[in-house]
């Protein structure tokens, strides 16, 4: 296949204005500082810039969207048209994304509720057995994350996502039938396999449908339904536990809990299959004109709407990108606390002096804290165009909460409970980075690869997390609490590194665009280029 031009395709004899179609530019886009940066470069660096070629820009391998625009479609869109279209997209996509992601969290944490409803006794879990049952979910997630990310690129996005939602609901139902440690481990493994598609898939949906300035809030919103999942889970678990005390049935309360939530999840998966579009071009809720408008409005992202072909150079670029490894480091280290708290929060609340039944209800406010923290951080991050620094506020609040748990004694159990609630603001940086995979990683193969790497780190962290809650440290798990504080401290430093790196790369790209003879190629944003090779790509902070 031939490239667009044999000569350097975005170097022209004359300087042209390359910002005409861009709606958002960061402060580093000022012409004079960029020109000064270019002037201060060495001769070798200037020569390298002049020799740059978009060697991977191939019209035969571009997005479907580019082919449609090349057929002569002219799209005009007023601000009012765009607002109306955005509302329509939100109305049709966000409810399902939010509901499914809430179930994704609820299905994982149902084990925590079941642990104090008789599961551990009924299937004879002793010593560290429960910790391993908690970790086994992430072994399944880890094994299947890379294959499922590849399938998300190659198969219809919505259809593959829906299949996995249906299957993980059915697998959750199977937990009602486990009789031993071995069977519980097996079912939890397959639950992880089928849930592995949801986070990378939802990151792709978000980058596909929303502009850079809209992605932080939308990601924060659907991820905040983890908190709603915790609220709903606590209420459902409490209702089943108290209801079966008064009206016993043939099965145990924890078994009924798995069946109710599992069947509901599968039903929502069927709805997802028939309602969610794979991309803008087959969205039934949009008119033909609106589909083209939906593609046109995300042109500013410099990412297109998706490409089904695996590109080896993008895979290797992902493995050599320092920003990507900083993402992975954060995911691994920050999810050690997540893995522990997710599986042990009910037992942790019991250690504060409350009964198991009370702990089912007392976990609910923690979900509310998570919802508020994620939505507020997402909104502020988009509002002030700085997701990275704003997201650290949730992490700092979580560290304060853990300090309350560590430092207060048992005469201040209310204060320790408040500390637990504050720890539920900790996901704000994780969600910000997940949204930045949508925003700051371009090239469809690179994006799916980075999403897989990020979630592999997530798996490893969540596998380690339950293991730091050792049975011999019960009920306070003091050593685990200290490990959590150390992990969050390292995570904070990692966020600051990513912030510095993105600013540095933006300055470098501004210098390239200020080079004499630079001109943007027509349709460049739909050529499935990576963030590092595309000089027009601006990293969001």
DSSP string over 374-390: HHHHHHHHHHTT-HHHH
Question: Rounded CA gap, 371 and 197, in Å?
Answer: 22
Closest to 344 in 3D by CA, of 120, 119, 131, 101? 131
| Residue 289 pLDDT exceeds 50 | yes
Higher-confidence position of 17 and 83: 83
Higher-confidence position of 5 and 405: 405
Section 58-76 average pLDDT: 55
- pLDDT for the residue 496: 95
Section 119-142 average pLDDT: 87
Confidence of residue 15 (pLDDT cuts 50, 70, 90): very low
Confidence of residue 44 (pLDDT cuts 50, 70, 90): low
Section 327-344 average pLDDT: 87
Question: What six digits make up the tokens of 219?
Answer: 């990601």
| Residue 70 pLDDT exceeds 60 | no
Section 285-305 average pLDDT: 76
Contact 292, 75 (CB under 8 A): yes
Question: What six digits make up the tokens of 181?
Answer: 């440690």
Enumerate the H helices of 116-252 as residue ranges: 119-122, 129-154, 157-174, 181-195, 198-209, 212-223, 225-246
Range from 35-39, 315-319, 413-417, 483-487 carrying the lowest mean pLDDT: 35-39
Section 252-269 average pLDDT: 93
Q: How far apart are the first and last CA of the chain?
A: 36
Share of the chain above pLDDT 90, in %: 28
Q: Residue 478: how many CB atoms within 10 A of its CB?
A: 10
Share the mean pLDDT of the chain: 81
| Residue 31 pLDDT exceeds 50 | no
Taking each continuous run of H as one helix and of E as one strand, the counts in the chain are 22, 0
| Residue 74 pLDDT exceeds 80 | no
Question: Of the CATH numbers 1.20.1250.20, 3.30.530.20, 3.40.50.300, 3.40.50.1820, which one belongs to the domain with range 79-505?
Answer: 1.20.1250.20
CA 60 to the chain's CA centroid = 31
Question: Rounded CA gap, 209 and 305, in Å?
Answer: 8
Confidence of residue 172 (pLDDT cuts 50, 70, 90): very high
Section 25-33 average pLDDT: 43
Domain boundaries, the chain: 79-505
Q: pLDDT tens digits for 503-518?
A: 998 988 888 888 777 7
Residue 11: strand, helix, or coil: strand
Range from 271-285, 294-308, 447-461, 521-535 carrying the lowest mean pLDDT: 294-308
Long-range contacts of 377-381 (CB under 8 A, 24+ apart): 377/220, 377/428, 377/431, 377/432, 378/216, 378/217, 378/218, 378/219, 378/220, 378/221, 378/224, 378/431, 378/432, 378/435, 379/217, 379/220, 381/216, 381/217, 381/220, 381/432
Higher-confidence position of 57 and 396: 396
Confidence of residue 263 (pLDDT cuts 50, 70, 90): very high
pTM for the whole structure: 0.72
Residue 518: strand, helix, or coil: strand
Sign of CA dihedral 201, 103, 329, 29: positive
- pLDDT for the residue 36: 58
């Amino acid at each position: 296949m031939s490239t667009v031009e044999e000569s350097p395709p975005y170097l022209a004899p004359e300087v042209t204005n390359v910002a005409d179609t861009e709606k958002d530019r960061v402060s580093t886009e000022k012409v004079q500082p960029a020109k000064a940066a270019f002037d201060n470069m060495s001769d070798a660096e200037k020569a390298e810039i002049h020799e740059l070629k978009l060697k991977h820009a191939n019209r035969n391998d571009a997005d479907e969207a580019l082919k449609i625009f090349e057929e002569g479609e002219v799209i005009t869109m007023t601000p009012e048209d765009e607002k109306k279209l955005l509302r329509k997209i939100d109305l049709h996509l966000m409810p399902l994304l939010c509901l499914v992601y809430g179930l994704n969290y609820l299905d994982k944490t149902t084990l925590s509720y079941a642990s104090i409803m008789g599961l551990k006794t009924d299937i004879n879990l002793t010593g560290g057995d429960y910790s391993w049952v908690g970790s086994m979910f992430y072994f399944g997630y880890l094994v299947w994350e890379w294959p499922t990310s590849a399938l998300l690129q190659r198969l219809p996005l919505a259809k593959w996502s829906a299949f996995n939602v249906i299957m993980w609901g059915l697998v959750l139902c199977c937990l009602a039938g486990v009789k031993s440690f071995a069977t519980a481990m097996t079912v939890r493994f397959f639950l992880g396999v089928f849930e592995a598609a949801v986070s990378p898939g939802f990151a792709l949906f978000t980058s596909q449908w929303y502009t850079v300035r809209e992605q932080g809030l939308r990601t924060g919103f659907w991820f905040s339904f983890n908190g709603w999942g915790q609220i709903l889970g606590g209420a459902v678990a409490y209702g089943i536990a108290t209801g079966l005390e008064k009206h016993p049935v043939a099965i145990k309360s924890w078994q009924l809990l798995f069946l109710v939530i599992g069947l509901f999840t599968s039903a929502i998966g069927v709805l997802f299959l028939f309602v969610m579009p794979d991309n803008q071009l087959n969205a039934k809720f949009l008119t033909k004109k609106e589909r083209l408008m939906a593609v046109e409005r995300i042109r500013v992202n410099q990412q297109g709407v998706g490409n089904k072909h695996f590109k080896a150079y993008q895979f290797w670029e992902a493995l050599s990108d320092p920003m990507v490894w900083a993402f992975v480091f954060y995911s691994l280290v920050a999810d050690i606390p997540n893995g522990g708290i997710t599986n042990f929060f009910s037992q942790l609340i019991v250690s504060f002096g409350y009964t198991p039944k009370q702990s089912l209800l007392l976990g609910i406010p923690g979900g509310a804290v998570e919802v508020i923290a994620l939505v507020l951080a997402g909104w502020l991050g988009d509002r002030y165009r700085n997701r990275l620094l704003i997201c650290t506020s949730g992490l700092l609040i979580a560290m304060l909460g853990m300090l309350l748990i560590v430092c207060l004694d048992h005469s201040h159990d209310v204060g320790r409970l408040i500390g637990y609630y504050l720890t539920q603001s900790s996901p704000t940086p994780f969600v910000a980075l997940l949204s930045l995979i949508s925003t700051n990683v371009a090239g469809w193969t690179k994006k799916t690869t980075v999403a897989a790497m990020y979630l592999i780190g997530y798996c490893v962290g969540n596998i380690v997390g339950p293991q730091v809650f050792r049975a011999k440290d019960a009920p306070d798990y003091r050593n685990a609490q200290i490990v959590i504080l150390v992990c969050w401290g390292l995570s904070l430093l990692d966020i600051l590194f990513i912030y510095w790196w993105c600013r540095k790369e933006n300055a470098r790209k501004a210098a390239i665009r200020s080079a004499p003879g630079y001109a943007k190629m027509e349709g460049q944003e739909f050529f499935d280029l990576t963030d590092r090779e595309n000089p027009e790509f601006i990293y969001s902070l």
